[in-house]
């Protein structure tokens, strides 16, 4: 199973996906999906209060945009973790 961490730590996968994200077709698809998640006025169903309905709608929308942001993030490699020697170049290795 591929996780977000394993995907983003693979240079081949992230660079390939980053190239995909630059294609006009992919940009148009992402734009269409973001429009699908745009706020729209809808009346709450019978028996549901305005506050509860909007809370539900906002939670759904946040999750939707979080998923799209995560998809786009797959095209960005994880930053390399700095080693102790990078942070402290004069550090003597332990025996």
Measured between alpha carbons, how far is 70 from 67 in angstroms, rounded to an integer? 5
Instruction: Give the ranges where 1-95 is alpha helix by DSSP (H).
Output: 4-9, 11-21, 24-36, 50-73, 84-87
Given a cut of 90, whether residue 17 has pLDDT beyond it is: yes
Distances, alpha carbon 94 to alpha carbons 81, 82, 89, 91, in Å? 20, 18, 14, 9
93 has pLDDT over 90:
no
Q: How far is CA 71 from CA 58, 79, 85, in A?
A: 20, 17, 33
Query: What band does 22 get if pLDDT is binned at 50, 70 and 90?
Result: very high
pLDDT for 85 beyond 70: no
């Amino acid at each position: 199973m591929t996780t977000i961490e394993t995907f983003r730590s693979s240079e081949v996968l992230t660079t390939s996906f980053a190239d995909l994200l630059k294609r006009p077709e992919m940009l148009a698809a992402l734009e269409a999906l973001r429009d699908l998640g745009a706020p729209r006025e809808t009346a709450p169903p019978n028996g549901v209060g305005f506050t509860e309905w909007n809370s539900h709608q906002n939670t759904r929308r946040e999750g939707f945009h979080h998923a799209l942001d995560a998809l786009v993030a797959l095209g960005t490699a994880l930053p390399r973790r700095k080693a102790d020697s990078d942070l402290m170049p004069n550090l003597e290795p332990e025996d």
